[in-house]
Structure 1
């Protein structure tokens, strides 16, 4: 497999002979205001420009949308993406919204969904703590992760926008992934706390999956992500995590 870190949570995953574009956030630098009610909301976003040429980003076989927050599927992506490629989403509600935008082949993921020789499995996650969902469930919404499996490939677990919780622990036990991609930028909402993983959660995954290679994504692009790559790298050095933790720069490709 190859995992191409594009920007934020946007990735291209080459797996089982197919190329998947994940959570495209394709606007030019500073196109949007910061998210209201979040940390550093005065900062415009995306905070950095795309480094990957657009024609390469748009060269894919299928699209995966883990959820529809605008830093995972923005207006620029809606305008640029071809309408006839398969789109995998978390549920029928998201599918109807995507179909209404003119996409013609939209498929909610199940426990085992086939795409060519690849099996895709929807996994559960939670975009914040249990307490955050008491007060902010409507805003945080539902999210999914995806497990990729195919003959001759290592098992990949793309966790999506989730914090560490029992759902993630169950996914690790059930699928025993060899490679794990985490949303690791520690996005913060005052009153709700962290809504994706920070350094401590990354360490918890690292310790819970002692043979897996871990990739930190969703960093240094949106206004409310407060954990930098340098900060996570320093934490990894201090906690003996550097042999199995990868923190790719934008436009970097990792191969496993």
Structure 2
């Protein structure tokens, strides 16, 4: 199983002879208007894709499916909606089916609890995209456990450290975990994705797993960067298991 961090939470997953694109945000740097109540007027994405835009059509042509944790625009942007073939299978949470069908996609495959496809098993997990009223306003989000070839990868999605995450870690005992970090937050309220300290909690709770932090240095409401995340992991003696990949970097998941 191989994973490439493209940018933000966008991953390219090669598993069981198939290629899946996870949470695609494919727009150019600064293509989108500032995020409301982010506390700044920065347009996003903050950085370019790690490859020329001309490589997007061949990438799209190589795909067998899309895996979508939720439809917030930094995970499912207008460029992805335009470029991806409407007949491409999209595995998603049930809450997003009507949205995707309304956008013209014809092979929308909701994962209620689990689903098997082409030798790959998908288990949907839950999460909390923030706390209190903000967490409620952010809506339903999911993660996925991807199992194939005797390997288990847990893509947690946009969630903070919470019981949903501990339950997924305990139930599935993943070999690797991808966490959306960066402590993104609005001008009021708590972070809506994991902080570096919460990344450490995940690593401590799942000592069998390698932990990879993404969702960094791409959206304007992020408050922690790669350096902060790595420094916290090193301070806790976890630098051998908590990794902070660069945009474009490939990761090999091993049992």
- 1:234 is displaced (CA, Å) by 1.5
Return the alpha-carbon distance in structure 2 between the equivalents of residues 153 and 252 of structure 1. Answer: 23
Return the alpha-carbon distance in structure 2 between the equivalents of residues 55 and 236 of structure 1. Answer: 37
Return the alpha-carbon distance in structure 1 between the equivalents of residues 6 and 59 of structure 2. Answer: 8
Match of 2:173 in 1: 176
Aligned partner of 1:136 among 134, 137, 154:
134
Match of 1:242 in 2: 239
The answer as to 2:50 corresponding to 1:51 is yes
The answer as to 2:24 corresponding to 1:21 is no
State the SS of the aligned residue for 2:165.
helix
Change (3 A) 1:226 1:137: closer
Return the alpha-carbon distance in structure 2 between the equivalents of residues 64 and 117 of structure 1. Answer: 15
Match of 1:208 in 2: 205
Contact 2:44 2:220 in 1 (8 A): yes
Contact 1:219 1:225 in 2 (8 A): yes
Q: Normalization by structure 1: what TM-score?
A: 0.94
Aligned partner of 2:104 among 99, 102, 105:
102
- 1:55 is displaced (CA, Å) by 3.3
Q: Normalization by structure 2: what TM-score?
A: 0.94
Return the alpha-carbon distance in structure 2 between the equivalents of residues 155 and 209 of structure 1. Answer: 13
Return the alpha-carbon distance in structure 2 between the equivalents of residues 30 and 104 of structure 1. Answer: 30
Return the alpha-carbon distance in structure 1 between the equivalents of residues 168 and 59 of structure 2. Answer: 29
Match of 2:152 in 1: 155
Contact 1:85 1:105 in 2 (8 A): yes
Match of 2:230 in 1: 233
Aligned partner of 1:77 among 71, 77, 80:
80
Aligned partner of 1:146 among 144, 147, 166:
144
Match of 2:221 in 1: 224
Contact 1:25 1:73 in 2 (8 A): yes
The answer as to 2:192 corresponding to 1:189 is no
State the SS of the aligned residue for 2:213.
strand
Return the alpha-carbon distance in structure 2 between the equivalents of residues 46 and 168 of structure 1. Answer: 27
Return the alpha-carbon distance in structure 2 between the equivalents of residues 29 and 213 of structure 1. Answer: 30
Aligned length: 249
- 1:225 is displaced (CA, Å) by 0.9
- 1:211 is displaced (CA, Å) by 1.3
State the SS of the aligned residue for 1:155.
strand
Return the alpha-carbon distance in structure 1 between the equivalents of residues 204 and 59 of structure 2. Answer: 33
Contact 1:3 1:12 in 2 (8 A): yes
Instruction: Describe the superposition over 1:171-219 as per-residue Cα deviations: whole angstroms up to 9, x where unpaired.
Output: 0010000100000111011222100001110000010001100000111
Return the alpha-carbon distance in structure 2 between the equivalents of residues 149 and 64 of structure 1. Answer: 13
Match of 2:64 in 1: 61
Q: Any stretches of 5+ residues in structure 2 without a counterpart?
A: none
